[in-house]
């Protein structure tokens, strides 16, 4: 008898899980279960693992959804890509697949991945997207500040800084953009009016778009940001963000060089103390009015209100973002569009996760763990029900293309090659070390043609929808047929060690499948590849001899070349398969 792959969240659940699995054989007859695609799906029944599943599975029967778990092969790939933004290596995939302890290995893998250094790199990229970390147009943080800001985000995540502290530092810091990195939150806002700052704060931390607010609500909220000041120093590109209750930084003579004049509603007239001081009353988004104390930075007053376990705009927003990042769809969707007429699909689940976050002292990894160890996260991606209600109910893991940075990193990992990332402005050009992965690039201005083509976000707005993973023919032309990819296939040192290592054809095929698709090939797939190698070996090689200027008879090196080309074609096909290109 096969062991049960549904694994418990803790020792106390083991007993329950075994009971459920044992009882299943009686309760579920084969005809009542959907047929399984063994390559991608597990024959084990999908049963709730933890509280997350209770909320999600509760909706399934009404919608007549019969959930199916993914296979171990799918899970190992999914977990690496979702948690770290990297593909498992062939060795990592093999180790997981061969791990005999099927009751705990998925949970153990999640725990291991959450502690790897790539975790912080990958999630720093996501946070940098919504914080708009970019040296040049349109955010113009400037290179030093962009690097300092990214490093602060990276270190915060690596140290698992509690989210309440993370948010408070971003909201209330004062100081130099080079030395106090989180002040760059206020510099990465293009529209530096109180309304513009309020909109950025609402979008980033409250997941809400102020253009959907009643206009008087925005005015009251903006008052918290009417005393944010910016001033230059004598060091090039240095800028201080500070509490500026008298509006000194808005005096014409105090504007940072190279910056547009800051346009405010209370623009000073003439010299001296502004005649039009910032508002002294502010209104929280929940409608509560507050007189701003003269001896306190209003940003702190706002942070005190926002960062609270009972504030519906705080914890729910960040757990929903994490849910969206892992599950491909928010409980509130889109994740930066909280508003009364866009309700959550599972309100109790959202509240539960938010309470869990606050109860765990804002430990974000606790929320990752709850989601990643749920059965919901492990559902198959094979679409059985394409109704919108089904995807809103998380009936299947949604299939989505690898993000631009993750995709090129995966291609480089498989082939053993690297890409050049640069920023052409300002001179001197910025280059980064060849072994740095695209995911780890801190500054959104540092880029490559591949990243631009595959829809990396421009980090202009901080909205999740700015990243564009929709397919375009030009992307396929690049993947199928560009010199950029072909060169990697022909010269990639990792590939060479796989097919020139003197191993048997079967071993080479197995290693390629493990490295690229994180699974063993099926018997049919081995046959397909073997047949291709055979036919390529026998076929004429007109194009290649023409290219090399060598006509005439075939030599031993022709045969070797043909064999190499045949392997290149196999890898080419694997890299162009949707199984490789998509999270599934």
Partner 1 sequence: MKHSHSKPSITRREAICRVAAGAAGCALAGRPGEASATPPTPPPSAKAKSVIQIFLWGGMSHIDTWDPKPKAGSEYMGELSKTVDTNIPGLQLGELFPNLAKQADKFSLIRSMTHRNNGHETAAYLMQTGHTPGERISYPSIGAVFAYFKEREYKGLLPPYIVLTQPQGRFSEEGFLGPKYKPFATGGDPNNPRFEVEGIVARGISDERQRARRELLGRMDPLTRTAAASPAIAAAEEAKRAAYELILGPGKDVFDLSKEKDELRDRYGRHTFGQECLVARRLVENGVPYVVINYPGGWDTHSNHFPTMRRQCPQLDQGLATLLADLHDRGLLDSTIVWCTGEFGRGPKVDWQPPWNGGRNHYGAVFTVLVAGGGFKGGRVVGESDDKAMEVRDRPVYPVDLLGSIYQLAGIDPNAPLPHPMGLDAHVLPLNEPGVKSAGRLTELM
Segment contacting partner 1 (CB under 8 A): 27-35, 78-86, 170-178, 207-215? Answer: 207-215
Query: In the block, which residue shows the tokens 């080079």?
Result: 178
Which residues, numbered 87-116, are part of the site for partner 1 (CB under 8 A)? none
- 238-267 footprint of partner 1 as x/- string (CB under 8 A): ----------------------x-------
Would you count residue 325 as binding partner 1 (CB under 8 A)?
no
Segment contacting partner 1 (CB under 8 A): 155-163, 226-234, 371-379, 457-465? Answer: 457-465
- 111-150 footprint of partner 1 as x/- string (CB under 8 A): --------------------------xx-x----------
Residues touching partner 1, count (CB under 8 A): 76
CA angle 471, 473, 477 (to 5 degrees): 115
Closest to partner 1 by CB, 165 vs 339, is 339
DSSP assignment of 92-160 equals HHHHHHH---TTTHHHHHHHHHHTSHHHHHHHHHHHHHHHT--SSTTT---HHHHHHHHHHHHHHHHTT
DSSP assignment of 279-336 equals PSEEE-TTS-EEEPPTTS-HHHHHHHHHSSTT-TTTHHHHHHHHHHHHHSS-SSSSTT
Would you count residue 352 as binding partner 1 (CB under 8 A)?
no
Which residues, numbered 511-570, are part of the site for partner 1 (CB under 8 A)? 525, 528-529, 532, 536, 539, 542-544, 547, 565, 569-570
Instruction: State which of residues 57, 119, 221, 572 lies at the interface with partner 1 (CB under 8 A).
Output: 572
Segment contacting partner 1 (CB under 8 A): 304-312, 344-352, 465-473, 504-512? Answer: 465-473
Would you count residue 211 as binding partner 1 (CB under 8 A)?
yes
Taking the complex as a whole, the smallest distance from the CB of residue 251 to partner 1 amounts, in Å, to 21
Burial (CB count within 10 angstroms: exposed 0-12, middle 13-18, buried 19+), residue 498: buried
Strands 289-291 and 430-431: unpaired
Segment contacting partner 1 (CB under 8 A): 92-100, 152-160, 434-442, 453-461? Answer: 453-461
Closest to partner 1 by CB, 72 vs 121, is 72
Rounded Cα distance between 437 and 582, Å, is 19
Would you count residue 577 as binding partner 1 (CB under 8 A)?
yes
Query: In the block, which residue shows the tokens 């299947």?
Result: 396
Taking the complex as a whole, the smallest distance from the CB of residue 429 to partner 1 amounts, in Å, to 10
Rounded Cα distance between 324 and 290, Å, is 34
Instruction: State which of residues 226, 367, 382, 393 lies at the interface with partner 1 (CB under 8 A).
Output: 382
Instruction: State which of residues 216, 386, 523, 556 lies at the interface with partner 1 (CB under 8 A).
Output: 386
Strands 582-583 and 400-401: antiparallel
Instruction: State which of residues 4, 148, 353, 581 lies at the interface with partner 1 (CB under 8 A).
Output: 581
Token output for 336 = 């930066």
Among candidate residues 446, 465, 468, the one with its CA nearest the CA of residue 136? 446
């Amino acid at each position: 008898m096969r062991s049960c792959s549904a694994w418990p969240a803790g020792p106390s659940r083991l007993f329950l899980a075994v009971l459920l699995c044992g009882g299943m054989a009686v309760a579920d007859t084969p005809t009542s279960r959907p047929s399984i695609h063994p390559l991608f799906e597990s024959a084990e029944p999908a049963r709730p693992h933890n509280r997350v599943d209770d909320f999600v599975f509760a909706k399934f029967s009404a919608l007549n959804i019969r959930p199916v778990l993914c296979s171990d092969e799918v899970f190992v790939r999914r977990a690496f890509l979702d948690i770290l933004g990297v593909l498992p290596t062939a060795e990592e995939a093999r180790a997981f697949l061969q791990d005999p302890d099927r009751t705990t290995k998925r949970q153990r893998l999640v725990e291991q991945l959450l502690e790897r250094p790539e975790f912080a790199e990958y999630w720093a990229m996501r946070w940098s997207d919504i914080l708009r970390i970019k040296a040049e147009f349109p955010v113009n943080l400037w290179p030093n500040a962009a690097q300092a800001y990214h490093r602060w985000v990276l270190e915060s995540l690596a140290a698992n800084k509690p989210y309440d502290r993370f948010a408070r530092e971003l909201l209330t810091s004062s100081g130099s953009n080079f030395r106090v990195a989180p002040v760059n939150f206020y510099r990465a806002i293009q529209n530096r009016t109180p309304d513009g700052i309020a909109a950025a704060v609402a979008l980033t931390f409250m997941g809400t778009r102020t253009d959907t607010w009643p206009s008087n609500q925005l005015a009251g909220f903006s008052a918290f940001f009417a005393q944010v000041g910016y001033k230059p120093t004598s060091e090039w590109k240095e800028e201080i963000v500070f509490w500026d209750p008298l509006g000194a930084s808005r005096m014409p003579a105090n504007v940072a060089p190279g910056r547009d004049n800051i346009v405010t509603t209370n623009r000073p007239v003439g010299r001296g103390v502004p005649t039009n001081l910032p508002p002294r009353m502010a209104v929280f988004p929940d409608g509560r009015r507050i007189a701003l104390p003269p001896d306190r930075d209003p940003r702190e007053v706002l942070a005190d209100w926002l960062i609270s376990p009972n504030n519906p705009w705080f914890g729910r927003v960040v757990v929903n973002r994490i849910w969206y990042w892992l599950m491909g769809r928010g409980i509130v969707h889109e994740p930066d569009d909280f508003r009364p007429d866009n309700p959550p699909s599972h309100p109790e689940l959202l509240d539960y996760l938010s309470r869990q976050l606050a109860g765990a002292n804002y430990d974000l990894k606790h929320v990752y763990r709850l989601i990643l160890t749920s059965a919901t996260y492990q559902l198959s991606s094979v679409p059985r029900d394409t109704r919108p209600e089904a995807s809103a109910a998380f009936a299947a893991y949604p299939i989505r293309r690898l993000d631009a940075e993750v995709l090129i990193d995966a291609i480089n990992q498989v082939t053993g090659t690297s890409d050049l990332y640069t920023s052409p402005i300002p001179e001197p050009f910025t280059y980064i070390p060849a072994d740095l992965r695209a995911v780890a690039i801190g500054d959104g201005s540092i880029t490559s043609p591949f990243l631009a083509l595959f829809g990396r976000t421009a980090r202009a707005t901080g909205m999740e929808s700015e990243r564009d993973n929709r397919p375009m023919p030009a992307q396929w032309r690049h993947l199928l047929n560009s010199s950029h990819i072909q060169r990697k296939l022909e010269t990639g040192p990792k590939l060479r060690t796989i097919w020139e290592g003197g191993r048997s054809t079967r071993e080479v095929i197995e290693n390629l499948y493990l490295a690229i698709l994180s699974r063993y090939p099926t018997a049919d797939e081995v046959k397909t590849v073997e047949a291709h190698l055979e036919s390529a070996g026998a076929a004429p090689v007109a194009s290649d001899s023409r290219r090399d200027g060598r006509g005439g008879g075939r030599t031993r090196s022709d045969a070797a070349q043909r064999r190499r080309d045949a392997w290149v074609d196999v890898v080419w096909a694997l890299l162009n398969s949707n199984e490789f290109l998509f999270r599934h």
